[in-house]
Amino acid sequence: MTDFILLMIRIAISFILTLVLGYFIIPFLRRLKVGQSIRAEGPQSHYTKSGTPTMGGIIMIAAILITTLTSGKLNRHMYIVLFSTLGFGLIGFIDDFIKVVLKRNLGLRAYQKLIGQITIAVIIAIYQSKTSAYETNVLVPFSDYIPFLGEKLDLGFLYIPFIAFVVVATTNSVNLTDGLDGLASGVTLIVASFFSLYAHHWGYPSIAVFSAALTGACLGFLRFNAYPARVFMGDTGSMALGGAIAAIAILTNLTLFIPIVGGIYFAEALSVIIQVVSFKLTGKRVFKMSPLHHHFELSGWKETKIVVVFWGVTLLLCIVGLYGLK
């Protein structure tokens, strides 16, 4: 049986596990009354979602864990991506727990989240700098078309702080993307598929298996999370997905590809930064609301249209990313 067929089997296993776990866990979350609170300043169309169970990310995390731990592909790379996924997922879970179970609206304070995120990110950066055959180099996308740059870019002593920054930024960008039914799970499904194909073709078997498990989990979660959502992933899920994507990209040395294949994540985060900076400097807002998906909502786009368009853009960007590989 070829490795590619085995990858398809892992996607199927993770997909089925997510469906099965969802049918048990979602009613349990309802009984716990861990409903999502909707921001008063958010779009009015979201008020009907108030009370929808959140913290559904534990469904995906459990499916990914079972799928990868039974794959027979366990090695240091697998442990690191699991560490990143579970570590960031734990930070999100604690934040969700404080907000929806203990009913403290603020959740974890920003500095508390940041300390945890930076700690995990630095560990990943140090690991990669010590074990990667590329050492402190990262692959340059479209290197054939960029003058004065080679296939690899050596970051030297800046490698660890740069990688740590990328991990934290990516994780929080995915978290910002999780604002519409099926948006973050659908975008991550496509991005994870890209990394699974790359890892399979370029000799990262454990990363390929993990990416396949992530793909299947996102696909299965869409059964419950697509409009109208029966459950939200919460910070538990979005932080875990962000940690997974960041670790996969870094361990495959595709760090600089994240803004390309994860262009939607990048745009969502950039829209928030632009909005905040513009308001502080000029008192004016560039967007009707940030993150970016809310701007389109307030511009009259239906939620389902925004999600499908963002999925389509991600698919196109992943195809572009494939052409950017050497």
175 is annotated as contributing to ligand binding: yes
235 is annotated as contributing to ligand binding: yes
Q: Can you list the alpha helix ranges (DSSP code H) found in the chain?
A: 3-32, 57-69, 76-96, 110-131, 159-177, 183-201, 205-225, 234-251, 258-261, 263-282, 292-298, 303-323
Helix (H) or strand (E) holding 138: strand 137-139
Query: Cα 187 from chain centroid?
Result: 8
In this structure, the strands spanning 152-154 and 137-139 are antiparallel
* Angle formed by the axes of helices 159-177 and 263-282, nearest 10°: 90
C-alpha 89/C-alpha 234 separation (Å) is 10
C-alpha 319/C-alpha 201 separation (Å) is 15
Task: Output the known binding site for Mg(2+).
Answer: 175, 235
Task: Output the known binding site.
Answer: 175, 235
